[in-house]
Amino acid sequence: MTTSATNPTRADASQITAHHPELVGKVAVVTGAGRGMGAVFATELARRGVHVVGGDLDDAPGTAARINAELTDAGRVVGLRADVTDPADHDRLLQTALTEFGQVDCWINNAGIFPQAEFTEIPPDQLTATYQVNVNGVVYGAQTAARHMREHGGGAIVNMASVAGVRVRATRAAYNSSKAAVRHLTSCMAVELGEHGIRVNAIAPGFVDTEMTRWVREDPAALDRALSTVPLRRVGAPIEVFGALYFLLSDSARYITGAVVPVDGGSQHV
């Protein structure tokens, strides 16, 4: 087992034991499921009996095949290529879920990009791409989910925000502001969709061990800087973000909507 006890900066990727039996047989759509947190969400949901449709620009079918090969008596994962910046691709995710599993109960707007540039040097295409993926992609996904859920007894939507939406770091203005928008959109959606039995929450991860942040972990100075703003003094593991997601999707969170749950080792306070 890799734990923070053996290496204080390393993520604790050991399993979490939470189990919400009421989610067995439910169906979730996860965007950005080809790798990173999205792939872990798909794996862990399926392990717990939730069927998953995972979309990604890259290799969602390959990820789904790998996950299914490991699963025995649990949920099934279907992967397809889907670009969150295209509303038609969200419709394909929905239709795939309905064709394969007959329903959609949960929708996780996870796909995101994390570009860097000094503020004065942000190129227009970087700004556009960041907002297209991180903001428009979340809106299109939630619209697709909500149109279906309001006709079928409600559901749960979870958006991936970030601590960057409240604690800004230099050279990340496009990303920071896109994640601030996700937080605010989560409130807007919760207010407007609650009467249809649709709960909308967000997760705000801090520094999590995925491909997105590999360059930070591989640069000792950047790693020191990053960990100096984490009270728990280590990077987080995707499974630790899954713990919050699984709770938010479950019946234990049935009176929670419009919340932004930090999973950041305390870094929102530094």
Q: Which CB atom, from 128 or from 251, has the smaller least distance to ligand NAD?
A: 128
Is 205 a binder of ligand NAD (CB under 6 A)? yes
Smallest gap, in angstroms, from Cβ of residue 197 to ligand NAD? 26
Q: Binding pattern to ligand NAD, positions 157-186, x when CB under 6 A? A: ---x-x------------------------
Is 151 a binder of ligand NAD (CB under 6 A)? no
Is 80 a binder of ligand NAD (CB under 6 A)? no
Q: How many CA atoms lie within 13 A of 218 on its CB side?
A: 6
Is 268 a binder of ligand NAD (CB under 6 A)? no
Identify the residue among 45, 106, 108, 111 touching ligand NAD (CB under 6 A).
111
Q: Which CB atom, from 125 or from 251, has the smaller least distance to ligand NAD?
A: 125
Q: Which CB atom, from 32 or from 75, has the smaller least distance to ligand NAD?
A: 32
Is 91 a binder of ligand NAD (CB under 6 A)? no
- Please give the positions annotated as active site: 162, 175, 179
Smallest gap, in angstroms, from Cβ of residue 178 to ligand NAD? 8
Among residue numbers 14 through 53, which ones bind ligand NAD (CB under 6 A)?
Answer: 31-32, 34-38
Interface stretch with ligand NAD, choices 13-21, 65-73, 142-150, 210-218 (CB under 6 A): 210-218
CA 74 to CA 84: how far, in whole Å? 27
Smallest gap, in angstroms, from Cβ of residue 176 to ligand NAD? 11
Give the count of residues interacting with ligand NAD (CB under 6 A).
Answer: 29
- Tell me the Ramachandran region of residue 29: left when phi exceeds 0, alpha when psi lies from -120 to 50, beta otherwise: beta
Identify the residue among 20, 68, 76, 83 touching ligand NAD (CB under 6 A).
83
Interface stretch with ligand NAD, choices 8-16, 185-193, 200-208, 221-229 (CB under 6 A): 200-208
Is 115 a binder of ligand NAD (CB under 6 A)? no
- 3-class secondary structure per residue, the chain: CCCCCCCCCCCCCCCCCCCCHHHCCCEEEEECCCCHHHHHHHHHHHHCCCEEEEEECCCHHHHHHHHHHHCCCCCCEEEEECCCCCHHHHHHHHHHHHHHHCCCCEEEECCCCCCCECHHHCCHHHHHHHHHHHHHHHHHHHHHHHHHHCCCCCEEEEEECCHHHCCCCCCEHHHHHHHHHHHHHHHHHHHHHHHHCEEEEEEEECCECCHHHHHHHCCHHHHHHHHCCCCCCCCECHHHHHHHHHHHHCHHHCCCCCCEEEECCCHHHC
Identify the residue among 10, 20, 47, 57 touching ligand NAD (CB under 6 A).
57
Nearest CA-CA partner of 239 in 101, 1, 36: 36
| Residue numbers at the binding site for ligand NAD (CB under 6 A) | 31-32, 34-38, 56-58, 82-85, 110-114, 133, 160, 162, 205, 207-208, 210-213
